[in-house]
Amino acid sequence: MLRLKNEYCQLRALEPDDLNFLLKIENDESLWKISNTQIPFSKYLLTAYLKNAGEDIYAVKQLRLVICLPDGEAVGLLDFFDFEPKHKRAGIGIVLNELHRNKGIGNEVLSLVKAYARDGLDLHQIYANIGEHNSASLKLFEKSGFQKTGTKIDWIYDAGSFENEIMVQLIFA
C-alpha cells in the first residue's frame, strides 16, 4: 500500500463515507462533457455503486480511488478504466475539486499512478484522453512524461459545438 502514498497525497479505496463527496463531483455539470454524463446521479444510485466499488480490477476492468491530502481530506478522484491485462494497458482519468487544482497535487498523483500501474498492475502503458482546450491537463500529463499520440477530431460535443480530444500515452520501458 505504500506505493499509493507519498508525503503530499494518498490514493485510497472508496468508502461509504465518501457518498457526499462523490455526489458533489458526479453532479458537477462542468465535468459532464468529459464523463459522458447527461443527468444527475441520485444518492440511491451512488450508494449502490459504493457497495460494489471494491470489486477486483481484473473482474470489472476499472478502479476508482479517492485522492486525499496527508490529513485525509478527499480532494479528487482517480479512475483506471478500460483495464486490459492481456495487452498490459489502462486509461486513467484524474479530477480534482476546484480549490485544489494548480497546486502540484496532480503531479504527485501521476507519480503514484505511474509507479502503481507499472509495478502493482504490471502494465506496459497508461493513457489519457484530454480535451484540446484543457491546457492545464495537457501540460500536467506532458510534464509527467506522457506523449501526445493522436487527435480524435470533433470528439466531444458540448454546448452546441465540438472539441477535439487528444490522446496521451506513457509507455514504460
* CA 92 – CA 56 distance, rounded (Å): 16
Mean pLDDT of the chain: 91
Domain boundaries, the chain: 2-171
Q: Give the whole-number percent of the chain exceeding pLDDT 90.
A: 71
Smallest CA-to-CA distance from 117 within 65, 53, 166 is with 65
Its pTM stands at: 0.90
CATH code: domain 2-171 is: 3.40.630.30
pLDDT of residue 151: 98
pLDDT band at 2 (very low <50, low <70, confident <90, very high): low
For residue 142, give the 3-state DSSP assignment.
Answer: helix
- Return the H-helix or E-strand segment holding 109: helix 105-115
Alpha carbons 53 and 63: distance in angstroms, whole number: 8
Mean pLDDT, residues 37-46 taken together: 75
